[in-house]
């Protein structure tokens, strides 16, 4: 079975997998693409033989809504990290930001962040990062299909992005900040869609558990 679940903020993607395993009693459970702990939104979960479809699902186009805080960079590139750099924020206006956004549309290389679930030589990068280790990461080609400005407030930019598999929105946020001449980190991230799966249809875990317990399997 395949489920479109709403990942709560503060949970890892594997936390959700474990929870679904406990609820359903199924041993074989997987997810269709990691979502950062600080982020919420669409997380596709599959059980049993349907886990074979997760590779195809994770390869589909994804969309996100994010808030970028300018002026400070954190080691994790999100609000969970510690500030490692700060810089004054220039005067912002919509035309300036939209012109910067245009720079990122299309295919370009992105270096995966140290705080990520990506494996290098069999070790997840975040495990090395927690040991204060930094290693060289190979750039990955990503495709930014759409980048839309939603709002500017104080030193924050609210934006939406549609992109290919493997795109790190935290890295995109940092790159946007640098292009604006400052630093930045994400304070909010929500995955709006994974292919045809949309957040409006995502089931909160509590509701998923209630539904599962009330039906026969």
- Show Cβ contacts of residue 142 under 8 Å, excluding neighbours closer than 6 positions: 107, 108, 109, 110, 163, 164, 166, 167, 168
Active-site annotation, residues: 36
The answer to whether 69 and 177 are in contact (CB under 8 A) is no
49 vs 167: CA distance, rounded Å: 27
Question: Which stretch of DSSP H or E encloses residue 41?
Answer: strand 40-47
Helix or strand run (H / E) with residue 198: strand 197-198
């Amino acid at each position: 079975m395949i489920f479109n679940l709403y990942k709560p903020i503060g949970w890892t993607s594997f936390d959700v997998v474990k929870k679904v395993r406990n609820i359903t009693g199924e041993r074989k459970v997987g997810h269709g693409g990691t979502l950062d702990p600080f982020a919420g939104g669409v997380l596709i979960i599959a059980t049993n033989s349907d886990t074979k479809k997760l590779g195809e699902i994770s390869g589909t186009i994804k969309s996100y809504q994010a808030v970028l805080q300018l002026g400070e960079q954190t080691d994790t590139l999100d609000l969970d990290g510690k500030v490692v750099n700060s810089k004054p924020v220039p005067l912002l206006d919509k035309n300036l930001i939209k012109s910067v956004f245009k720079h990122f549309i299309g295919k370009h290389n992105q270096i995966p962040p140290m705080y990520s679930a990506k494996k290098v030589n069999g070790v997840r990068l975040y495990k090395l990062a927690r040991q204060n280790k930094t290693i060289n990461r190979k750039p990955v080609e990503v495709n930014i299909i759409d980048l839309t400005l939603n709002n500017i407030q104080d030193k924050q930019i609210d934006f939406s992005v549609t992109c290919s598999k493997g795109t790190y929105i935290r890295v995109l946020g940092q790159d946007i900040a640098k292009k604006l001449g400052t630093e930045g980190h994400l304070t909010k991230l929500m995955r709006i869609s994974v292919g045809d799966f949309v957040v409006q249809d995502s089931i909160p875990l509590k509701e998923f558990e209630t539904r599962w317990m009330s039906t026969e399997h």
